[in-house]
Structure 1
Amino acid sequence: MRLVVDLNRCQGYAQCAFLAPDVFAMHGDESLLYNPEAAAEQRENVERAVAACPVGAILLELTDEDMANVPAPDAVAGAGPRSGGAR
């Protein structure tokens, strides 16, 4: 996964640093440091950080490898045709 942060848009709220501290860190009061190539095991925390950014400054780009690890829709529990019973 690849991260891009619009540092002109970032206002230093630091929600990302609280939710994904292994990827994002504040340097001083307003300067954000981040790892643009976050490890796959950080994906859940990064997704939370992206969603929590109040100004939408963080963009998460999934690589082909990331997409290969996404389960197919029919592999998701509860997916697929229902069996039995009248409709």
Structure 2
Amino acid sequence: MRVTVDPGRCDGYGNCVMTVPDVFDLDDEGRAVVVEDEVEPGRADVLRAVVACPYTAISTHED
């Protein structure tokens, strides 16, 4: 499963980083970035991070 963050939608709340710190981080501007863009399909903690994002900036894609 591929994980992406839309930087134009991210407002830097950091919920994703708190939920899955091995997949997400914050850049120098405080916006979320993906540090591991390919994860196990259906990974529950990543799916929780998608739901926890108040601006729906995180997407997952099955390739």
- Do these two structures clear the TM 0.5 threshold for a shared fold by scoring above it? yes
Scaled by the length of structure 1, what TM-score is found?
Answer: 0.62
Q: Which has the larger radius of gyration?
A: 1
> Residue 5 of structure 1 contacts residue 58 of structure 1 at CA under 8 Å; is this kept in 2?
yes
User: Which segments of 5 or more consecutive residues in structure 2 lack a partner in the other structure?
Assistant: none
* Structure showing the higher helix proportion among its residues: 1
Matches within 5 A, 1:6-85: 6-28=6-28, 30-34=30-34, 35-37=36-38, 39-40=39-40, 43-63=43-63
Could you say what secondary structure the match of 1:56 adopts? Answer: coil
Deviation above 4 Å: which 4+ runs of structure 1?
none
Scaled by the length of structure 2, what TM-score is found?
Answer: 0.82
Larger RCO of the pair (alpha carbons < 8 Å, separation 6+):
2
User: Which segments of 5 or more consecutive residues in structure 1 lack a partner in the other structure?
Assistant: 64-87
Q: Once the 2 structures are TM-superposed, how far is the Cα of residue 42 of structure 1 from its aligned partner? A: 8.0
